[in-house]
A and B are shown apart, each in its own frame.
Chain A
């Protein structure tokens, strides 16, 4: 046994060795056709842009286009870092993150990192408008047209009963990343509903999908811009209109969520560096439709972020031109 084994091993060495050598001689060598070095001949050296990638597709759409333009037009090296929002903000202080390119309010983080620690600054709006509110699936709005007025919600409360809602109607709350006033709203608008925490965007979207397929009633917290709305056109329920200051006391809120101006945040160091990438981030603005389109490329057409960005940039040269630093 032992004898034949070492014999086999030796034969194996010889055979594979010969075979591979014959093969190998034909192969290309590592490093021979190395990719062209990054950093084309731009006017001003750009260096590295550390871009935080927050975990939702709309954000990724913004980041993909900015990264693509920074690499192709400005010759920057873009390092993408997948981070949750709060961790990304921490990165401003440690110098590991240069820019966040879709920020939803986060007043407390702004206070901490912009006002108190002075390690971050705002780089202006992205042009996207954020909407938060209560939504129903399209089939419900068709079947019960008056359901989109909050005053009629109590009439339909029994439709929304589930195993979780304790005999009341279920208002499905979801993404823990966003502030919710829903418990106060239910109380102050005297609605016969219980807030149930779905806990993630995944859970919300799956619930909406199943609702549409199985014609199972659903009332849930959601937001725009969001790629899923291009798959299923959810219908927003009208709460009492938002007025400046009507949400000042979180206990007494009885009005809709405020419209959000989504904006960009950069580290102070990056803003002062004079990098052309900073100019690009600062100048970057586009519309909800633009973002939805790129998000759709990524989410539904399964393009990579780079492919999606390349396609959009090729179709919109004028918009891109307006973002580039004047030099």
Chain B
């Protein structure tokens, strides 16, 4: 296969006027749509099934039935389940649930706060310690201490296990091209396969309880750890590595002394994303009885109680911010102190550790023994105020902005989304197929075209062509919006530390505030429509794109920037000619992660009127007879993700090559 694709690519590369060719292909598409409108569109009704769906359903039933007799379950899965259950229950016993015959957990609020603050102080800095203390106390003030600790227990367990698995795999993927190629589609699969598809089957494997919730969280949280670690390892400049090799460093040595230290900051971004991903699962995992704040959110949503849901969502956001800041501070600590010349001598450091831990231990003892230090005082509860304020804000927004938002929605839907969707869904499938393959070939390379052909064929086989095209239209529109935001805000953040400090909490909130909290106001503003789904996806996906672009901009070496500035480059020239081009790999990663995050919101979109694949998945989760179709829809989402990602990467590669005037390399 490889020689063929290489040959086709070579031919395609030699073609002149590629841009005009792409335009010609698109013109043919529009013409074909006008002539053949409505033929061969492979439509399928909401409750209709194809034989493929029915047989998927039967397959899943067969797995269900085999669970009790199959040795794979008896000996392998069961042990994993036991281990996970024990791990989570143990952490819960320490901080959130009555345990060891006591009516309260081992550590009360004072103990947990003291310990966490102490750790943040010792491994981070004074600022992060203050933030930790404030954050933990705010859980109590919101009236959600126990729920928060349940969520913390589950998240910590899932994050630690995810990192234990993810970072080594990420290092491997960073060192080995072959492993990277193998693992990338698997990660795409894990991140884009909607949780709803595997949530119900998961409880068959791991039963109802913490183990299922942990596994569900890990499936979603491991990929960023692997991906971003690999990215960090790969980014280490070849010159530095060569220098190491020429000095006779072995692979292991260069990994330990060159690659890992240089990639450390990027790896921390991965840790940060892992935490965010794990916390973003808190609500969905609550559908299978995962304890904690997610349940409060879901319960509140049954009665559209935005205030209560927001209150709990706020606690999740605070938790995310605290965990993120402490990990980042820890990563910078040693370096910062050494540079400032105030690294403590070992003896002093030991004294400091002993002192801080001593205080923490004493406070832990108090919270173990005395009720006042164990149970957060119920009088100090500002939760009701937060709730009322959030309710009022939500009602105000819905009532007063609805005129404007209606207009915006109608404009974008009728002007952009509807025509694009009509073109995709109204054309015969074979026409769309041919156009997509041609565009992938012209904009990318033969391999991307092959991936497109296979992917689209799978969509046809899954019996969900039309639904896939509807979802594709919304996804493309949402991704474009995400990248516009990502570039504008990301560049701003990358260039200005103040903007960074100001925006980061907002971005963290966008990523970790449970979708369900802001869906109600969004629905009030935009109604149950595809546009609501697009907005929800942008809220969730833009932060990651922004952060990655900013990270890329920040990594551009200051000397280069200085050189350009002294050469008289204007700000705009500096951004467009120096910083963005040099941050290209960061921007590419932002685009592909942005796309994947948008796709991971397809299902949430299904809950607010996007219909199509998202609705199929949700319905499959809720109705037994639609389970097969839900699985097929989940697979279709994954396929869309892989195809779009491949085409996008190939196109960037080609653009890069063109910019350097060389041949595109595969």
Contacts and interface: CB of A to CB of B under 8 A. Distances in A.
Interface of A: 1-2, 5-6, 9-10, 12-13, 16-17, 20, 23-24, 27-35, 55-57, 60, 81-87, 90-91, 94, 96-97, 106, 108-109, 112, 117, 162-164, 172-177, 179-184, 195-207, 209-210, 213-214, 227, 250, 298-300, 302
A57 B65 CA distance: 32
Interface stretch (B142-150, B301-309, B592-600): B301-309
3 shortest interchain CB distances as A-B pairs: A198-B528, A9-B355, A176-B619
B373 A27 contact: yes
Given A83-B288, A197-B606, A199-B607, A179 B623 contact: yes
B301 A163 contact: no
A181 B46 CA distance: 9
A10 B354 CA distance: 10
Contacts of B622: 84-86, 175-177
Given A9-B351, A174-B528, 6 more contacts: A33-B371, A82-B287, A90-B204, A176-B619, A176-B622, A210-B524
Interface residues of B, number: 83
A163 B414 contact: yes
Residue from the set A27, A183, A206, A298 with the largest chain B CB neighbour count within 10 Å: A206
Given A199-B606, A200-B607, A17 B362 contact: yes
A12 B359 contact: yes
Interface string B361-403: 0110010111111100000000000000000000000110010
A174 B619 CA distance: 10
A203 B528 contact: yes
Given A199-B615, A199-B618, A109 B624 contact: yes
15 contacts: A27-B371, A28-B370, A29-B369, A30-B374, A55-B298, A57-B303, A82-B295, A82-B299, A84-B200, A90-B208, A180-B46, A195-B46, A198-B609, A199-B608, A210-B524
Interface string B618-647: 110111110100000000000000000000
Interface in B280-314: 286-289, 295, 298-299, 301-305
A23 B371 CA distance: 12
B520 A202 contact: yes
B207 interface: yes
B562 interface: no
A209 B524 contact: yes
A175 B623 CA distance: 11
Contacts of A10: 355
Contacts of A299: 302-303
Contacts of A203: 519, 523, 528, 607-609
Given A163-B409, A203-B608, A84 B621 contact: yes
A96 B208 contact: yes
Nearest to A2: B348
A287 to B, nearest CB: 21
B529 A56 contact: no
B103 A31 contact: yes
Contacts of A31: 102-103
B235 interface: no
A206 B524 contact: yes
A28 B104 CA distance: 13
B359 A177 contact: no
B3 interface: no
Contacts of B410: 163
B609 A197 contact: yes
Interface in B512-534: 516, 519-520, 523-524, 527-531
Contacts of B2: none
B528 A196 contact: yes
Contact of B368 (A17, A30, A33): A30
Contacts of A200: 607-608, 618
Contact of B624 (A56, A106, A209): A106
Contacts of A182: 46
B203 interface: yes
Contacts of A6: 348, 351-352, 355
A51 to B, nearest CB: 12
Contacts of A96: 207-209
B660 interface: no
Nearest to B411: A163
Interface in B561-606: 606
A163 B529 contact: yes
Contacts of B209: 96
Nearest to B342: A1
Contact of B303 (A17, A83, A199, A298): A298
A108 B624 contact: yes
A200 B619 CA distance: 10
B61 interface: yes
Contacts of A162: 527, 529
Residue from the set B303, B523, B625 with the largest chain A CB neighbour count within 10 Å: B303
A82 B418 CA distance: 39
Interface in B136-172: none
Nearest to A300: B303
A174 B272 CA distance: 36
B530 A302 contact: no
B103 A34 contact: yes
